Amino acid sequence: MNHHLKIDHADAINPDPIEILKQEHQRTLQGLATIERTLQYLDSLPSSTALKRCLVEQSRLRDWVNELSQRMLLHFLMEEEALFPVLAEYIGKEDGPIGVMLEEHLKIRSALLNWKRGVNVLCKLTGSARDRVLREVTSVGNQTIAQLRLHMSKEDQILFKICDASLSDEEKKQVTQKLQVIEKNVL
C-alpha cells in the first residue's frame, strides 16, 4: 500500500530555480487532489459502515497531511531564504507581491498545523467524537487546500514571471544553489 504522496523535489541538476519551484507546485497539486478525494470519501461514509476501509483511509490521510505539511514548510523556507531576498532587490519586500506571499505563508503554516493536529487526533477516536473531528478535519482541510492552490497559482502567474524577467542568469544559478543547500540541510 502506498502511503507516500511523492512530493519529491525536482532533479538536482535542474539549473532553473523557477522551474524547480514550479515543478514542486505541480507535484503538490497532484498530492492535494489525492487528499481531496480521500476527504470526500471519508465524508461520504458513516463511521459504522465500511469501518475497516475508513480506518485505512484515515491513516493514509494522516500520513499524507503530515508529509504535505513537512514538504510545504521546506518549500516556503526555500522561497523565503533563497528566492525572495534576490527578487526583493528588484521589487522591494514589504509592499508588493513578496509581502503578500509572506503573509500567505504565515496563514498556510498555521492552517497546516491545525489540520495536521486534527488528523492525528482523528485517528485515535471512535464513534460520535470521531465523526465530529472528521467534520472539522474536512472543513480545515478543504480551506487549506483552497489556500494552497490559490497561493501557488499567484506565484506561478505573477511572482515567478517577475523573477524570470528580472533575475540574471548568474542570480538564477545562485538561487538554485541556495535551494539545494537548504533542502539538503533540512531533509
- Contacting residues toward Fe ion, per CB under 5 A: 79, 155
Q: How far is the CB of 70 from Fe ion (least distance, A)?
A: 15
C-alpha 127/C-alpha 133 separation (Å) is 10
Assess contact for 104 and 159: CB atoms under 8 A: no
Helix (H, G, I), strand (E, B) or coil at 16: coil
- Which residue, 5 or 79, has its beta carbon nearer to Fe ion? 79
Q: How far is the CB of 179 from Fe ion (least distance, A)?
A: 11
- Which residue, 17 or 155, has its beta carbon nearer to Fe ion? 155
Assess contact for 10 and 24: CB atoms under 8 A: yes
- Which residue, 58 or 76, has its beta carbon nearer to Fe ion? 76
* 74 CA to centre of own chain: 9
- Which residue, 89 or 103, has its beta carbon nearer to Fe ion? 103
Q: How far is the CB of 21 from Fe ion (least distance, A)?
A: 5
Q: How far is the CB of 167 from Fe ion (least distance, A)?
A: 16
Quickly tell me which residue has 506571499 as its cell.
101
Quickly tell me which residue has 514548510 as its cell.
73
